[in-house]
Amino acid sequence: GLGYWLERKLSLGWLLRTYAFVLEYSLGKVPELSERIDRLAQRIAGYVEAADDDEILVVGHSLGANVAVSVLTRALAINALLFRQYKPVGLLTLGGSIPLQGLLPWARPFRDELAQLATNGDLAWVDITAPQDIASFALLNPVTVSGVALDEKAPQRPQVVSARFRELLSPETYDAATWNVFRMHFQYLMASEREALHDYLSVTTDGFRFRDRFAESQTGQD
């Protein structure tokens, strides 16, 4: 009965299955995902060369943030000037659980990927999380939390931004949603009830440049 209650309230089964998948993938037991990452990296590298877009934004939510990191580092391996020579490329990670993989002792290759992106000044990388989302490492730098040492004198990357769900939802919706663990983890991708600079649909569809959008943002609290 207690297990059923915890599952219903905290979605523990989903969280445990997620962790189990990360373990298997980090040990190389999910080769089909690595192959898909390679194909997407090749597609991005080829697309950027010929694109006439104002900018290109790669988005990763939850464990998709980990995948996005690997995709961009592999795309960069295909073309070392990927972020500099062509259209501006940005990385947006939402509700990320990057340290879930980065903290594993044997995940050194993934930590190397994190370091490569975090020290590349040509890539705009913003990480958005919320304290209400217990499935993410809220308001923490996912790179340094994963054990990657960065130059303290250099700009800390990625830029960590609060999702501020309270600003996006009405008080009634917010009070009801905060009790739903699953809902809070996917709220990043859902349409909001109030317009805001950090709303996902605004970030991905309006005319404001990604690199400049969060220039004045602070980590803050929700």
Q: What pLDDT does residue 148 have? A: 96
Q: What pLDDT does residue 216 have? A: 65
Is the pLDDT higher at 45 or at 155? 45
Q: What pLDDT does residue 217 have? A: 57
Task: Provide, for the chain, the percentages of residues in helix, strand and coil under a 3-state DSSP scheme, each rounded to the nearest 5.
Answer: 50, 10, 40
Q: What pLDDT does residue 77 have? A: 96
| pLDDT at position 97 over 60 | yes
| CA angle at 96 for the pair 95 and 98, rounded to the nearest 5° | 165
- Tell me the mean pLDDT in the region 148-166: 91
Give yes or no for a contact between 98 and 136, defined as CB atoms under 8 angstroms apart. no
Helices assigned H by DSSP within the chain: 2-10, 12-26, 31-50, 64-78, 82-85, 98-102, 108-118, 142-145, 165-168, 171-177, 181-186, 200-205, 210-213
pLDDT tens-digit profile of 10-60? 677 888 889 999 999 999 999 999 999 999 999 999 999 888 888 999 999
Q: What pLDDT does residue 36 have? A: 97
pLDDT tens-digit profile of 160-201? 999 999 999 999 999 999 988 889 999 999 999 998 989 999
| pLDDT at position 219 over 70 | no
